[in-house]
Amino acid sequence: MYKTLNEEGKLPYTDTQGLKIGYMTMVGTAEPLDEDTYEHLKDNFTHFSFVIGKDKPYTWSTFTVPGKRICWGVQMQLNAVNLDGSFIRNIEWGPEGNENMIKEIYDYATPYGPLGQFIDKTPRDQISRVFLEEKMFETWYYKRTVLIGDAAHKMLPSAGQGAVNAMQDAVILANCLYDIAYNATEQNITTAFMDFKAQRYPNVQHQFSASKTMARVIYGQKWSERLLRFIVFRLLPQSILHKNTIKDGAYRPQCMFLPLAPNRGTSPVLPQKPSKRYQEGLEAATV
Ligand SMILES: Cc1cc2nc3c(=O)[nH]c(=O)nc-3n(C[C@H](O)[C@H](O)[C@H](O)COP(=O)(O)OP(=O)(O)OC[C@H]3O[C@@H](n4cnc5c(N)ncnc54)[C@H](O)[C@@H]3O)c2cc1C
């Protein structure tokens, strides 16, 4: 789609540019472990630990998951640079690069001892090392093609929002397509895609920015980022952080052509744009 738009001179300049890369991550899940050695594995909830390196560009985390397993991950802050796709493809991603990074992070402390013990229990071919890319694309659709999820907006995983937003896209897109019913003319499809983008863009933009800020807070090692971290973790009242979480959680889109799931929690839910077609169907059924 982008290639076609570019050839036709219709692609906005920002969409011709590469994704921004500021961090790299390495992740894995250790094979099942002995729960007498790792007592946290006996609990039926997750134990999560996150360590921010001092004087090193790394942060690392561990968390327990079902099946007596522990996931681990390391993030490295790179100098924020713009790399285009060809540069990324040329980078050496072979086992040698992985081993160099493993050597560097092997002795980092976790609540269970050195991180390396989990790396040793993770098959090497199941360890992933990727750049964390980010970009808000402006072009989300063209003719009968529409993009959702990372293809339209790739955000940093620091706030755990990438997959969430991909699913929210899917729900809102389904709502917009439902409303054009079986009348899938090019004009109606464009109207549905425009509506989809209009409904989603502000929310995605908000989560994109929040993920960027969160990455600076939890991965950043520049002095300004250390200051930001100090403010967030030491000075900002917990009540403000809590209020923000509640506010963000209020956006919970649902399929408007199905009976709505009741709100069983205590926090509010934002109202959604009703489906005209569904309302008409309900009214017709009651006549
Ligand atoms: C380390 C890390 C941690 C994360 N943690 C979280 C988290 O805690 N919470 C959260 O919400 N999100 C998290 N994310 C982000 C989340 O993984 C992504 O936002 C999400 O997977 C995006 O889903 P998607 O379907 O848009 O794209 P993808 O998951 O990338 O799916 C696209 C699929 O298309 C396939 N594909 C690509 N090209 C082609 C082709 N030409 N033909 C056919 N198939 C093709 C790919 O193989 C892939 O399977 C994390 C990401 C990373 C890297």
How many whole angstroms from 155 Cα to the centroid of ligand 1?
Answer: 11
For the chain, how many structural domains are there in total? 2
Which has the closest alpha carbon to 62: 76, 54, 46, 50? 50
The secondary structure element, H or E, covering residue 146 is strand 145-146
In this structure, the answer to whether residues 158 and 249 fall within a common structural domain is yes
Query: Does the beta carbon of 149 lie inside 6 Å of ligand 1?
Result: yes
How would you classify the pairing of strands 128-136 and 145-146? unpaired
Residue 157 Cβ contacting ligand 1 at under 6 Å? yes
> In this structure, are 102 and 174 located in the same domain?
no
* Same-domain check for residues 81 and 158: no
What is the whole-number distance in angstroms between the Cα of residue 38 and the centre of ligand 1?
A: 31
Residue nearest to atom 52 of ligand 1 (CA): 157
- Per-residue pLDDT, 90: 35
- Please indicate, yes or no, whether residues 18 and 45 belong to a single structural domain of this protein: yes
3-state secondary structure 86-103: HHHHHCCCCHHHHHHHHH
pLDDT, position 86: 40
Output the pLDDT for position 93. Answer: 61
**Tokens, residue 171:** 């729900």
Q: Is 48 helix (H, G, I), strand (E, B) or coil?
A: strand
Is 267 in the same domain as 187? yes
Q: Which long-range contacts (CB under 8 A, 24 or more apart) does 113-120 make?
A: 115/60, 115/62, 115/72, 115/74, 118/28, 118/30, 118/62, 118/70, 118/72, 119/28, 119/72
With vertex at residue 232, the alpha carbon angle to CA 227 and CA 237, rounded to the nearest 5 degrees, is: 135
Residues 45 and 74 in one domain: yes
Q: 249 C-alpha to center of ligand 1: Å?
A: 22
Q: Which is the closest atom of ligand 1 to the Cα of 166?
A: 26
> Is residue 97 located within the same domain as residue 229?
no
Domain match, 82 and 151 both = no
Strands 69-82 and 109-110: unpaired
Q: Is the CB of 213 under 6 A from ligand 1?
A: no
State whether 182 and 121 are in the same domain. Answer: no
According to the model, what pLDDT value does residue 25 have?
95
150 alpha carbon – ligand 1 mean position (Å): 6
Question: Looking at residue 81, what is its pLDDT?
Answer: 43
Q: How far apart are CA 165 and CA 173, in angstroms?
A: 12
Q: If DSSP codes are grouped into helix, strand and coil, which group holds residue 160?
A: coil
- Tokens standing for 241? 């952080």
Q: Which of 136, 158, 191 is the last residue of a domain?
A: 136
149/23 same-domain check: no
Q: Among 118, 136, 154, identify where a domain stops.
A: 136
Question: Which domain does 83 fall in, by range?
Answer: 2-136
Which residues of the chain register pLDDT less than 70? 79-95
Closest by CA position to 69, among listed 45, 106, 34 = 34
The Cα 71–Cα 64 span in angstroms is: 6
User: Looking at the structure, do residues 149 and 98 belong to the same domain, yes or no?
Assistant: no
Pocket of ligand 1, candidates 147, 161, 251: which has the most ligand atoms within 8 Å of its Cβ, to mutate?
161
Q: Is 71 near ligand 1, meaning CB less than 6 Å away?
A: no
Q: Whose CA is nearest to atom 30 of ligand 1?
A: 150
Query: What is the model's pLDDT at position 76?
Result: 92
Domain boundary among 90, 106, 136: 136
Q: Is 48 found in the same domain as 26?
A: yes
